[in-house]
Amino acid sequence: MQKAVEIGKTSATGSFQLFVGVAASTIIMAIGTIILARLITPEEYGLYSIALIPSYMIILFRDWGVNSAITKYTASLRAENREEHAYEIVLTGILFEAAAGLILSIILFSLSSLIASTIFQRPESSSLIAITSITVFAGALLMASQSTFIGFERMELNSLTTICQAIVKSITAPLLVFVGYGALGATLGYTISFLAAAIIGLAILYLTIIRRIKANNPQKIGIAKTLKKMLHYGVPLSISSIISGFLIQFYGFMMAIYCTNTMIGNYQAAIQFATILTFFTIPVSTVLFPAFSKINPKNEIELLQIVFASSVKYAAMILIPATTAMMVLSKPMISTLFGEKWIYAPFFLTLYVISNLFTIFGSLSLKSLLAGLGETKIRMKLSLITLAVGIPIAFLLIPTMGIVGLILTTLVAEIPSMCLGLYWIWKHYKVKVDVKSSVKILAVSATAATTTFLTINFIVYADWIELILGSLIFLATYLIVAPITGAINRTDINNLKTMFSGLGIISKLTNIPLKIVEKISKIHL
């Protein structure tokens, strides 16, 4: 158990480091999005969102795992004290990404009119799609730089490029919309942010890493041989991502065909709020991969079971209440920040975040566990199952139910693969979720949400007052009911304190609610 706690402590520290970068860029993006949403009409926002779909789709076929190979091989060479040999890896990766990005950008630019008129039946989106084609090339250079930063463990440089992109987008897009460019201004702001981040990333990469390792590189570059090696490693890893990404963009194409610009704009506004929850999901899911990788399933099967069950429980303790709070406060939240014109967005947001509730079953931990144990083929098969389920359901629900059908499709399509994945890990590793703990956490969150809903719906206040009051009521109810029902016990409190102890001032902040829960649990006992 002690080793499990230590793994949790390391994961918590890594989560926090990732959380800072994700949070900073997301907050900046959120501020820009709030300003943009107040300046742009739902119809224009919908048109802008549609213009991004083709670039999202074509990006899936740009990388082929080369960025993963950059990170993998640069990290391995550094561990072997052969850092100077990483130059051929970095150079080959950048050249491949640049070539692939440029070719795909040209293809998308050439097809922009066809896609706009024939597929989307919105000829006015042609110029916008053509502009976004530039992001395919710029994004390739940016991703190659960021993959190198990660391989050299320069996380601060990776975060810097992400934050720079967020700043440029959050300033440029609203400014261009304000001066009257509408959807075109939003599209230009989005594209310019990629170009700026790519230039900054390459400049920093050259000054901090490439110039140094190039000077020490002892051998002649064999680009063809190096690329073959990188593709051999990267292609299998990319297949699962391509399948998942293709399904998402397929939904996007169906949405563009069958839904109006206004409904799409409201849906995109809802998604912007849902990204707040990525503050928790991205850091947690990212650090779980190395955490599971440290465990030998043959010799430490009991440890594996403990770590998996604990990862599900502690992720649920944070994500489930955050999700249910967002569901119940969706209307005052969107009205306060985006304004009253987004009349459908609160309902869309409530439906959209339901998928986060699957965390209680282990959805957030499952993929990381399979990757950490090297079961990549199983991950690919699960992705294929989701694809096989999602496509026919999309054809059935989206044309008839619009955005609601889209959201229901994404929810239903994930369930079979999740259930099969959980069954597979139980059959082969005897790893399973602590169902009793999961049910308690969900019940406590539902109680807090119900209390909040009843309170704010029987009073008439301004939206911002309802948002603040509702948040306080939800938090107070959760902190009181959780220890009373046993959803959070004394062992959990001690483990969480240990896991967060390496986070400096953040540990002091997290200790505040933990101490409250601890005192309530003592009184209850």
Q: What is the Cα–Cα distance from 308 to 310, expressed in whole angstroms?
A: 5
Q: What is the Cα–Cα distance from 217 to 313, expressed in whole angstroms?
A: 48
pTM score, two decimals? Answer: 0.68
Give tens-digit pLDDT for 66-110: 887 787 777 777 766 776 677 788 888 888 888 999 999 999 999
| pLDDT for the residue numbered 444 | 92
Q: Is the pLDDT of residue 495 over 50?
A: yes
pLDDT tier, 138 (very low <50, low <70, confident <90, very high otherwise):
very high
Q: Who has greater pLDDT, 3 or 99?
A: 99
Using CA atoms, how far residue 425 sits from 125, 292, 355, 413, 419, in Å, is 46, 13, 21, 20, 10
How many CB atoms are closer than 10 A to CB 197?
Answer: 26
Q: Is the pLDDT of residue 59 over 80?
A: yes
CB 377 within 8 A of CB 385: no
| pLDDT for the residue numbered 506 | 56
**Dihedral pair phi/psi, residue 174, rounded to 5°:** -60, -35
Q: What is the Cα–Cα distance from 282 to 287, expressed in whole angstroms?
A: 9
Among the residues of 356-488, which ranges form H helices? Answer: 363-372, 376-429, 435-457, 463-485
**pLDDT > 90 fraction of the chain, expressed in percent and rounded:** 18
Q: Is the pLDDT of residue 256 over 90?
A: no
Q: Which range among 148-152, 348-352, 407-411 shows the weakest confidence by mean pLDDT?
A: 148-152
Say how many residues make up the chain. 525
| pLDDT for the residue numbered 501 | 57
Q: What average pLDDT does this structure show over 242-267? A: 81
Tell me the angle at which helices 182-205 and 155-176 cross, rounded to the nearest 10 degrees. 160
Burial of 211 (0-12, 13-18, 19+ CB in 10 A): exposed
| pLDDT for the residue numbered 347 | 92
Closest CA to 440 of 317, 328, 322, 318: 317
Q: What is the Cα–Cα distance from 500 to 291, expressed in whole angstroms?
A: 16
Closest CA to 25 of 205, 146, 187, 182: 146
Six-digit token pair at 415? 């369930």
| pLDDT for the residue numbered 282 | 52
**pLDDT > 70 fraction of the chain, expressed in percent and rounded:** 82
Ordered by start, the domain boundaries in the chain are 40-240
Q: What is the DSSP letter of 152?
A: T
Give tens-digit pLDDT for 38-57: 887 888 888 888 888 888 88
Give tens-digit pLDDT for 422-446: 888 888 888 888 888 888 999 999 9
Give tens-digit pLDDT for 354-388: 988 988 888 877 776 776 565 767 877 888 898 89
pLDDT tier, 221 (very low <50, low <70, confident <90, very high otherwise):
low
Q: What is the Cα–Cα distance from 158 to 146, expressed in whole angstroms?
A: 5
Q: Is the pLDDT of residue 514 over 90?
A: no
CB 140 within 8 A of CB 98: yes
pLDDT tier, 336 (very low <50, low <70, confident <90, very high otherwise):
confident
Q: What is the Cα–Cα distance from 128 to 187, expressed in whole angstroms?
A: 6
Q: What is the Cα–Cα distance from 39 to 170, expressed in whole angstroms?
A: 13
Q: What is the Cα–Cα distance from 124 to 120, expressed in whole angstroms?
A: 10
Q: What is the DSSP string of 15-38?
A: HHHHHHHHHHHHHHHHHHHHHHHH
Element (H, E) at 346: helix 345-352
How many CB atoms are closer than 10 A to CB 401?
Answer: 15
CB 306 within 8 A of CB 1: yes
Q: What is the Cα–Cα distance from 279 to 276, expressed in whole angstroms?
A: 6
* Amino acid type, 449: A
pLDDT tier, 12 (very low <50, low <70, confident <90, very high otherwise):
very low
Closest CA to 162 of 191, 187, 188, 196: 196
CB 147 within 8 A of CB 67: yes
pLDDT tier, 299 (very low <50, low <70, confident <90, very high otherwise):
low
Q: What is the Cα–Cα distance from 227 to 290, expressed in whole angstroms?
A: 26
| pLDDT for the residue numbered 210 | 81
